[in-house]
Structure 1
C-alpha cells in the first residue's frame, strides 16, 4: 500500500505553494501591453515594469530567516497558516490598487507575507521524509512553480481578456482563504503527532529521522555564527541569485518574443504555459535520478548548463520563431529542475538546528535575483530596444551557476551508507507498500 504521507502531505503543500506562486507571477501576463491595459493604467515603461515585478523580492527577504527559525522551534503548520491569511490580503490589495506606487507597495508586502513560507515548508518536509526520499519530496512540492504557470496561465489569460487585470488579480488573490481550512485539517508537524499513519510507518520515520539528525550533529561545539559563515553557504547564495535572475527575468519578459504574431490573450497564455509543462516533467526525472544515484551537484550543474546553452541558442535563432521557442522550452526548466537536488543539500550536510536558518538565509539573499533579473532585463531591453542582450546575459549567468554548483558540498559518505542499508533492508518499508 502506498505510504499515506505522500498522498496527504505533498499534494496539500504543493497546492498551497502553487497558490503562492500564482499570486506572485500572474502579473507576468498582466504586464504585457498586447493583452492587458495594466502598463497604460499604471503609467509604466519597461524599466518600471521590471521594478514592479521585482520589488516583491525585497519584501521576500525580510522573514526568510525568522520563518525558518520559527518553523524549526515552533510549528511549520501554524507559521504557514498565518502567512496564508497575510498573503491573501496583500494579493487582493494588489488588484485593488489604482496607481503605480500603490501597486508597488502591495507587491512589496505580498513578498513579506510569502517570505516565511518556503523555509517553513522545507522544515515540514524534512520532518516527514528521510534523506533517501527528500529530493523527490522537494521536487513534487516544487512542481508547484512550473505547474502554477502551466495550469494557471491559460486561465489567467482568459480572465484578463474577460474581466481585466484588476479583477483577475483579485479573483486569484482570494485563493489562499479557500485553501486555509484544508491546510489546517490535513497537515501535521511531525509523524509522532499524526493519528492517520500506521504504527509501523511512524516508528520507521521517527527512528530513521533521529538517526540521520544524529549523524549530522557536530562532534565539537560550533557557534551558530560559525555555521552560518561556511563558504559553501555563500556559494549557495551566489548560485541561487543567478538561478532567480534567470527564472524571473525570463518569466517577466518571455512574452516579448511573442509580439507581432497575432496571438489572442488565451493563445498567449497557452504558449506561456507550455515551457512550464515541460519543466514539470524534467523536474521529476532529475529528482528521481538524483535520489537513485545519491548525487546532487552534477544534477544541479547539468540542468543549469542546459538552460544557459538553450537560452543563448534561442536568442541566436530568434528569426526562426518556432525553433527559438523550442529552445526556450528547454531554457526555462533549468532553474526549476535544479531546485530538488539543490535544496536537498542543506538537509544532508547541516545539523537540523541550523538547517532552517540556512535555508532562510540562502532563499532570502538568493531571491534578490528575482528583483535584479527583471530589472536588468527591463533596463537593457529599454537601452538596446531588443531582448537579445539581456537574455544572452541570463544565459551566461546560468552557465556560471553550473560551474559554481560543482563547489557545493557532497553528501557525507556515512549518510549514503545509511541510505543503502535502509534500502537493502526494506523490512519496514516493504510492509508499508
Structure 2
C-alpha cells in the first residue's frame, strides 16, 4: 500500500516537537545503560572484576530488560505512552545512581538488573507513540531519527565518561550520569502528547493528515493482520522477527559494550583518549543509520535494508580479528562494523506495523524487543567468557560474526518466505523530510 503524498506546504511540527524530545530522553537512557562499557575497564582495585564478571555486569541489564516490555507496551497503547515513559524515566534514574553506590560485585549486578527492569518498558512505549504520529511511509525515518539517539549517546558518552574518569571516581561518574533523566522528565511531561488529537501545537491540516492517513492504513490491512494477542504472537513473521532481532542484538551489544576495551588494548591510552577514540565509530554509525532509513522509506525495501548492513558487519568483524592489520586499519574496521550494526534499526522497526493491526502491534513489539534483547545479555557475557578462556577477545568477536550471519540469513530467507505478510516493497515514501 502506498501512503498519500504529503502536500509540500503541510506543516511538519511533529518532526520538530516529538522526535527530538523523545531522542534526548532515550539518549539519557542509553547513556546510563552503556556507560558501564567505558567505566568497567577503569574500576581497578576498588572493585576488581574478571573479564567474564565485566561481561555479566554489562549483560545482566538485559535480563531485567525483559520484565516490563509487554506490560509497558500495553499501558502505552491502552493508557498513555507519555505517562508510562515519565514513570519509567524517574525509576531508571534512581537505579542508575545506585550503580555508583554499590560496595561489591553482587550489588553491582542487582543495580544493573534494576536499571534494565525500568528501562525495558521505554522502547516499546516510544514505538507506540511514534506509530500514533507517523504513517507507514514515514515510519523508518521517524524510527531512525529517534533511534539516532543511540549512536549520538555513544558519541557523547564515551568522551564524557573518559574525561570524568580522569577527574572523578568511577562511583561519581555513575551517580552524576544518572541524574539528568530527572530534569528531562519535566521537559517530557510538558512537551509530548500521546497523539495529534491531544496536542495543542499541531495545525489542523497536519492533524488531519496524520489521523486520516493512519486510519486509511488500518482499514487497508488484510483481515489476517487484525487478530488477537495470542494469534499475533504465533504469527510466523513475528516469530521470525524475534529470531532476527536476537541474533542481531547479540552481535550488536557484544561489539558495542566491548568496543572501549578493544580501543584501550589497541592504544593503551588514558581514559579520556579511549573515550574520544571510542566515539569516532559512532559518528559513522549515526550517518549510516539515517541514510539507510531514508533509502528504505524511499524504495520500500525493508528486507534489504536489514540484511545488507549485517553482511558488511560480518565482513568487518572477521577481517578485523583474523588478519594482523596495523592499528589504523583495525580502527577503520571498527568504524565500519559500528556503522553496519546500527543501520538496520529504522527499517527493522518499521516492519511490525505492516505485519499486525494496531490492536496487537504494541504487544508484538514488546515481545520482539524483550526476547530479542536477550542477545544483549548473551553477547557481552559470551565475549567476556571466551576472553577468559582463550586469553584473547578474537574468538569472541568471531563468534559474534556467526550470530550476525544467522540474523542475516533469517532476515533474507525468512522474510522472503513470508512476503505476503512482510513485503520487501512496501511502497515508495513521500520525501517530506
Q: Under TM normalisation by the shorter chain, which class is it? A: over 0.9
Output the CA distance in 2 between the equivalents of 1:222 and 1:176.
37
Instruction: Tell whether the 8 Å contact from 2:225 to 2:355 is kept in structure 1 after alignment.
Output: no
Aligned to 2:139: 134
Aligned to 1:174: 179
Aligned to 1:14: 23
Shift of 1:413: 9.3
Instruction: Tell whether the 8 Å contact from 2:354 to 2:422 is kept in structure 1 after alignment.
Output: no
Moved more, 135-144 or 334-343: 334-343
Output the CA distance in 2 between the equivalents of 1:71 and 1:253.
33
Output the CA distance in 2 between the equivalents of 1:255 and 1:200.
48
Distance change (3 Å), C-alpha of 1:124 and 1:101: same
Give SS of 1:62's match.
Answer: coil
Aligned to 2:247: 242
Q: What is the correspondence of 1:387-398 to structure 2 with a 5 Å cutoff?
A: 387-398=393-404
Give SS of 1:378's match.
Answer: helix
Aligned to 2:3: none
Distance change (3 Å), C-alpha of 1:233 and 1:386: same
Deviation track 1:63-113 (CA, whole Å, cap 9, x = no partner) reads 101111111111100000000000001001111111111111011010000
Output the CA distance in 2 between the equivalents of 1:349 and 1:13.
25
Give SS of 1:375's match.
Answer: helix
Instruction: Tell whether the 8 Å contact from 2:151 to 2:282 is kept in structure 1 after alignment.
Output: yes
Shift of 1:373: 0.5
Aligned to 1:281: 287
Give SS of 1:44's match.
Answer: coil
Distance change (3 Å), C-alpha of 1:220 and 1:140: closer
Deviation track 1:266-309 (CA, whole Å, cap 9, x = no partner) reads 11001111111110000011000000001100110001111111
Output the CA distance in 2 between the equivalents of 1:96 and 1:27.
14
Output the CA distance in 1 between the equivalents of 2:403 and 2:424.
32
Aligned to 2:370: 364
Output the CA distance in 2 between the equivalents of 1:298 and 1:414.
11
Give SS of 1:128's match.
Answer: coil
Shift of 1:347: 0.9
Moved more, 88-97 or 209-218: 209-218
Q: 76, 91, 112: which is aligned to 1:86?
A: 91
Q: 238, 241, 244: which is aligned to 1:233?
A: 238
Q: 93, 106, 113: which is aligned to 1:108?
A: 113
Aligned to 2:4: none
Q: Does residue 300 of structure 1 match 2:301? A: no
Shift of 1:253: 2.0
Instruction: Tell whether the 8 Å contact from 2:228 to 2:360 is kept in structure 1 after alignment.
Output: no
Q: 74, 89, 114: which is aligned to 2:79?
A: 74
Q: Does residue 31 of structure 1 match 2:40? A: yes
Q: TM-score, normalised by structure 1?
A: 0.93
Q: TM-score, normalised by structure 2?
A: 0.93
Listed as ranges, the gaps of 5+ residues in structure 2 are 1-8
Instruction: Tell whether the 8 Å contact from 1:215 to 1:415 is kept in structure 2 after alignment.
Output: no
Give SS of 2:402's match.
Answer: helix
Q: What is the correspondence of 1:11-410 to structure 2 with a 5 Å cutoff?
A: 11-32=20-41, 36=42, 38-216=43-221, 218=223, 222-258=227-263, 259=265, 261-406=267-412, 407-408=414-415, 409-410=418-419
Distance change (3 Å), C-alpha of 1:348 and 1:219: closer
The alignment's C-alpha RMSD in Å is 2.0
Shift of 1:328: 1.2
Listed as ranges, the gaps of 5+ residues in structure 1 are none
Shift of 1:194: 1.1
Report how many residues are paired: 420
Output the CA distance in 1 between the equivalents of 2:337 and 2:100.
31
